[in-house]
Amino acid sequence: MYMLQKWLSLVLDLIITALAVLVVGISVALKDSVSVGYTGVSLSQIISLTSYMKLIILFWTQMETSLGAVSRLRSFSEESGDENLPEENQEPPRDWPKNGSVEIEGLSVVYR
């Protein structure tokens, strides 16, 4: 994900650089009719546009990653079955444990 964000940032920088070169080229070609102030303002706006677009892309990818995680959790909770065996249907009492201790006797555990 980090590499994709960096690649997207590079592509965005290249596009903005091409746009800035185009603005400078047009302003140089039309130097008698285009104000230097307008050229400076347009270049400043191009730079701020780049930073805003990078932030939007960063937030969008973070949101999409978070939504993907929520979707995976939801599908896991819906698709995973009950872990109890069919004969294990007893629920502990609501007030269990009363004294905060658990005693285990004769426990044996095996893997299937």
**Among candidates 58, 53, 60, 66, which has minimal Cα distance to 2?**
58
pLDDT in tens, 84-94: 777 877 888 88
On the CB side of 83, how many CA atoms lie within 13 Å of its CA?
A: 1
The band of 32, judged by pLDDT with boundaries at 50, 70 and 90, is: confident
**Averaged pLDDT, 26-36:** 86
Measured CA to CA, the distance from residue 27 to residue 40 in angstroms comes to: 10
CA triple 66-72-78, angle to 5 deg: 140
CA triple 40-44-48, angle to 5 deg: 170
pLDDT at 82 over 80: no
**Averaged pLDDT, 31-44:** 86
pLDDT at 100 over 80: no
Tell the residue number behind the tokens 């307008």, with chain if given.
38
